[in-house]
Amino acid sequence: AELAEEDEALIARRQRLLGPAYRLMYANPVHLVRGEGVWLYDNKGDAYLDVYNNVASVGHCHPRVVEAMSRQAATLSTNTRYLHETILDYSEQLLGTFPEELQHVMFTCTGSETNDLAMRIARAFTGGTGFIVTETAYHGITHAVSELSPSLGRHVDLGVHVRTVPAPDLYRSNNGDVAGKFTADVAAAAEDLSRHGIKPAALIVDTIFSSDGVFPEPKGFLSGAVDAIRAAGGLFIADEVQPGFGRTGDTLWGFQRHGVVPDMVSLGKPMGNGYPVAGLVMKPDLIEDFGARARYFNTFGGNTVAVATAKAVLDVIFDEGLQSNAASVGKYLHDGLNAIAANSEMIGDVRSAGLFLGVEIVEDRTTRAPSADRAAKLVNGLRKKRVLISATGPNANVLKVRPPLVFTRDNADFFLERFEATVREPN
């Protein structure tokens, strides 16, 4: 009913041209034309506070990134089969942020391609084919990784070589022993694969468990599971597409919060601040055999514009202290949300690492029954107040608060004020 006529026409045109597989956000979709920092502007010139988009992680259209990207686009746009220094300068800088065991980086264009490559390498190295993922994991859209992505829904079959384990959910844990349970679940999944004649190749997890509902705590809970997959002959792949590049605040990479060293690390989304650049970081022995036998050429992966852009993004993260900003503003937001939760039965839990926050919406705090309905009302209510967030998790009841890393305390106050007002609105 609230839809403007011109938006209705645009929606119809989209459906006619793009077909039925695309989804818009919101009952009343936002028509964006411009972005700057933490703000997005619609076609009427109204500003929306972006508390959701982790891709534009150093802020929408950051001038330094735009400048590096356009300068390189105007100079040379070509691929990795010619000598060029920028890819090496960037790789050196990037690899310098990882534990020393992780020595190579290969470039792709998307997180999906990265995980697809990780699967191929894991299979080639271990001789196994089995993968273990969490119950509502998302690892991408290629045929292979869609089989590792139960969050795509029942219309996508999980591979016969795939086993799922419950996400490490502290809020719904019976005894608080998230680490012990997750370790035992991974060990049991590996055994089940073996029992069916499938050798485990890897455990792959998003180290912030975003699509499972955001599970950052307690730090260190991954380490037993990593030991368990290795004991079963498999590798550990950390999918850092969501938590990576400083978002979790106290460390640059999500896996570091757990004190583990992965065999491979998948990077994507925020890596180019919106330019499609992604990559896989790995231990060198994994690729020795594969690299000697198979050639890897990705037409656009690691192209000169991509790496110039990615380099500017990493420079901005360091020069503007965005990791420590994520830690401090993230804590401020967490405390602010907790204060609001204290007066609201519908907020069951607030959890976070840096500027990656999950706010679990429930029927009431005693039953903890998930409320997708209330979560959707909050998301749409905030949209009316020109604040953009979304919901995640198996029951779509966990609000995902994940703003660009340049988010300030003032931005946080703006968000918290509107969030509180929306929570207080009658149902």
- In the complex, the residues that contact ligand PMP under the rule CB under 6 A are 110-112, 115, 138-141, 206, 210, 239, 241-242, 268
In the bound state with ligand PMP, the residue whose beta carbon lies nearer, of 138 and 407, is 138
Place of tokens 């106050």: 413
Burial class (CB in 10 A: 0-12, 13-18, 19+), 275: buried
Q: What token pair was written down for 231?
A: 């004991």
In the bound state with ligand PMP, the residue whose beta carbon lies nearer, of 252 and 347, is 252
For residues 287 and 291, give the distance between their C-alpha atoms in angstroms, rounded to a whole number.
5
For residues 15 and 21, give the distance between their C-alpha atoms in angstroms, rounded to a whole number.
9
Closest residue by Cα to residue 84 from 113, 62, 107: 107
In the bound state with ligand PMP, the residue whose beta carbon lies nearer, of 242 and 422, is 242
In the bound state with ligand PMP, the residue whose beta carbon lies nearer, of 114 and 411, is 114
For residues 329 and 326, give the distance between their C-alpha atoms in angstroms, rounded to a whole number.
6
In the bound state with ligand PMP, the residue whose beta carbon lies nearer, of 69 and 109, is 109
Place of tokens 């900003």: 325
Contact (Cβ atoms closer than 8 angstroms) between residue 407 and residue 327: no
In the bound state with ligand PMP, the residue whose beta carbon lies nearer, of 147 and 239, is 239
CA torsion sign for 23, 375, 155, 136 is positive
State the minimum distance, in angstroms, from the CB of residue 152 to ligand PMP: 11
What single letter denotes the amino acid at residue 142?
T
For residues 405 and 245, give the distance between their C-alpha atoms in angstroms, rounded to a whole number.
10
Residue nearest to ligand PMP (CB): 111
In the bound state with ligand PMP, the residue whose beta carbon lies nearer, of 264 and 341, is 264
For residues 132 and 163, give the distance between their C-alpha atoms in angstroms, rounded to a whole number.
5
State the minimum distance, in angstroms, from the CB of residue 20 to ligand PMP: 19
In the bound state with ligand PMP, the residue whose beta carbon lies nearer, of 273 and 411, is 273
Phi and psi at residue 95, in whole multiples of 5°? -65, -30
Strands (E), 94-234: 104-108, 130-134, 162-165, 200-206
State the minimum distance, in angstroms, from the CB of residue 56 to ligand PMP: 14
Neighbouring CB atoms inside 10 A of 53's CB total 19
Contact (Cβ atoms closer than 8 angstroms) between residue 326 and residue 245: no
